[in-house]
Amino acid sequence: MATSRQQKRVVLVHPRGFNWFPGKRDITDIANRMVPQGLLSIAAYLIKQGHDVFVYDCLGPDAPLDLQKQTGAILAHQPQMVGFSATTSSFPDAADLAQSIKKQSPDVITVCGGVHVSALEDKLLKDYPAFDFLVAGEGEETIAELAACLEPAAIKGLIWDNKGEIIANEPRPKIADLDSLPFPAYEKLKGFPRDYHLPLFSYINTPGATMITSRGCMYQCSYCDRSVFKKGFRYNSAAYIYEHMKYLREKFGVRHINIYDDLFTANRQRIVDLCEKLNRHPLGIHFNCAVRVGYTDDDLLKLLKDAGCLMVSLGIESADPDMLARHKSGVSLDEVRDTVQRIQKSGLRVKGLFMMGLPGETEASIRRTSDFIISLGLDDMNMAKFTPFPGAPLWATIKHEGTFHEDWRLMNCLNFVFVPKGIASKEKLDQLYNEHVKRFYSDKAWRGRFRGRIWEHRKSLMYLLRHLPSFWSAKNQFEPKQN
């Protein structure tokens, strides 16, 4: 086994993928350009190991759409290794880029990880030989060992081709102490934080950034792919989170942070400790986070508010009791209503997260959910289009639940690739989606709340006006089509 620590030039790539509607201009990078958080964590880990690392975001500012231009930009760094982190919808782009890189520079080592790889594992490598290696599970340690020239057979979590035989090594153990990881390498991201935008009207101050302070989940919703972090719940300490926030504030001038944990408040004491520290030593930062029903007592909500929290997101998915029981166990509509009321009473805004088109969905269940959304008096709402993912529990039986068009490029929660048996057609499902999303934003009560915050939202409004043609085009996607 090779044990020498060799420095490598590594380019880590966030592939673009297909992120909008077929035949329409992709505006997702204008509306909400998210930091590729996992990739930056791997970059920081490799830098700590002594490697020369570059990050190339194909969704970043001024990034070309043309594959050959992307290839040229990546190879301009003269990498010895190129790593990709891909979702299901961006995996085909990663594969095309890897093929293009190999064609021009055959000696460059290509490796791909991410949720799609972690779900399908060795099934992929035979069909996509432009990748030399695949990484299943968490990527930091696996890629670091690969970059350090350890023998492939000795690297846990690695999938590789041994003279025509595809081998999946034993799984990589989960990183037990997340505080041992360095802060993500934000400085490697061109245009950060100025050109990375949080969702409109989700903030007051700019610039914004994102953070993830935990990995894994104690629950297993039917639609959720847990292939990378698995079950369980690991988290950063309050002290680490505070220092991470302080780093973003002092080095990059960040004024608002979206925390994208599924279960941010699951460990109550760490949130209490964090809020108390933010109160004793304010950073001049607002933040948003997500909570789950059952983890939001009144004292904790007050602490969050006092510490600078602006808005919390609540996963609800559906207002049909049978749908909830099947897809999101442990959540009742009465609890949802009570939680929303208590969040708003504490002075926080609440954003409801819903999903349309799950197996078992009918026009009646969609109407019930839409009525429930209006009745809650939410401050904001997001309705995802259900997408079956290979690592989700539903995947095994999805083809028996309705019509499934398995086109990876469209599997991004922005297109309906699955139509449940209770809905007549994809066209009908699209119509219902457009109708009910528009219904929320046309509601008089919601518009009244929004008008009351116009001054707070002035930075979002200025941004919207600068990009008005693109946003107007997006708005038209939600106009109900006339039959």
Contact 259, 209 (CB under 8 A): no
CATH code, domain carrying 352: 3.20.20.70
Statement to judge: residues 394 and 350 lie in one domain = yes
Among positive and negative, which fits the CA dihedral 459, 264, 188, 65?
negative
H or E stretch covering 23:
none
Statement to judge: residues 453 and 338 lie in one domain = yes
Pick from 80-84, 119-123, 370-374, 470-474: least confident:
470-474
Express each pLDDT in 421-443 by its tens digit. Answer: 999 999 999 999 999 999 999 99
Rounded to an integer, the average pLDDT of 28-44 is 88
Rounded to an integer, the average pLDDT of 33-56 is 96
pLDDT at 22 over 70: no
Pick from 111, 146, 168: which residue ends a domain? 168
pLDDT at 213 over 80: yes
Statement to judge: residues 267 and 140 lie in one domain = no
Express each pLDDT in 316-357 by its tens digit. Answer: 999 999 999 999 877 899 999 999 999 999 999 999 999 999
Select the more confidently predicted residue: 274 or 17.
274
Statement to judge: residues 208 and 314 lie in one domain = yes
Statement to judge: residues 109 and 218 lie in one domain = no
- pLDDT of 2 reads 39
Q: Is 182 part of a structural domain of the chain?
A: no
Given pLDDT bands bounded at 50, 70 and 90, which one contains residue 33? confident
Select the more confidently predicted residue: 141 or 473.
141
Q: Is 149 part of a structural domain of the chain?
A: yes
pLDDT at 446 over 70: yes
Contact 414, 385 (CB under 8 A): yes
- pLDDT of 25 reads 60
Contact 263, 217 (CB under 8 A): yes
pLDDT at 474 over 80: no
Given pLDDT bands bounded at 50, 70 and 90, which one contains residue 4? very low
Rounded to an integer, the average pLDDT of 123-152 is 96
pLDDT at 39 over 60: yes
Q: Is 24 part of a structural domain of the chain?
A: yes
Contact 166, 152 (CB under 8 A): no
Express each pLDDT in 354-398 by its tens digit. Answer: 999 999 999 999 999 999 999 999 999 999 999 999 999 999 999
Which are the contacts of 368, defined by CB distance < 8 A and separation ≥ 6?
Answer: 319, 320
Express each pLDDT in 149-204 by its tens digit. Answer: 999 999 999 999 999 999 999 999 999 999 999 999 999 999 999 999 999 999 99
pLDDT at 3 over 90: no
pLDDT at 480 over 80: no
pLDDT at 205 over 90: yes
pLDDT at 479 over 70: no
Pick from 122, 147, 168: which residue ends a domain? 168
What gap in Å lies between CA 217 and CA 205, rounded to an integer?
A: 31
Given pLDDT bands bounded at 50, 70 and 90, which one contains residue 1? very low
**Percentage of the chain surpassing pLDDT 90?**
83
- pLDDT of 230 reads 72
Q: Is 191 part of a structural domain of the chain?
A: no
Q: Is 471 part of a structural domain of the chain?
A: yes
Pick from 32-36, 100-104, 340-344: least confident:
32-36
Statement to judge: residues 208 and 155 lie in one domain = no
Contact 94, 21 (CB under 8 A): no
Pick from 168, 190, 219: which residue ends a domain? 168
Number of domains in the chain: 2
Q: Is 419 part of a structural domain of the chain?
A: yes
Given pLDDT bands bounded at 50, 70 and 90, which one contains residue 70? very high
Q: What is the residue range of 327's domain?
A: 198-476
Q: Is 46 part of a structural domain of the chain?
A: yes
Which one, of 460, 395, 474, lies nearest residue 227 by Cα?
A: 395
Statement to judge: residues 137 and 204 lie in one domain = no
CATH code, domain carrying 75: 3.40.50.280
Name residue 259's beta-bridge partners: 211
Contact 155, 89 (CB under 8 A): no
Statement to judge: residues 146 and 257 lie in one domain = no
What gap in Å lies between CA 16 and CA 33, rounded to an integer?
A: 11
In the predicted model, what is the mean pLDDT of the chain? Answer: 92
- pLDDT of 231 reads 76
Q: What is the pTM of this model?
A: 0.93
Q: Is 124 part of a structural domain of the chain?
A: yes
Statement to judge: residues 146 and 22 lie in one domain = yes
Statement to judge: residues 283 and 143 lie in one domain = no
What gap in Å lies between CA 149 and CA 110, rounded to an integer?
A: 14
Statement to judge: residues 207 and 79 lie in one domain = no
Statement to judge: residues 157 and 203 lie in one domain = no
Which token pair is 289? 């986070």
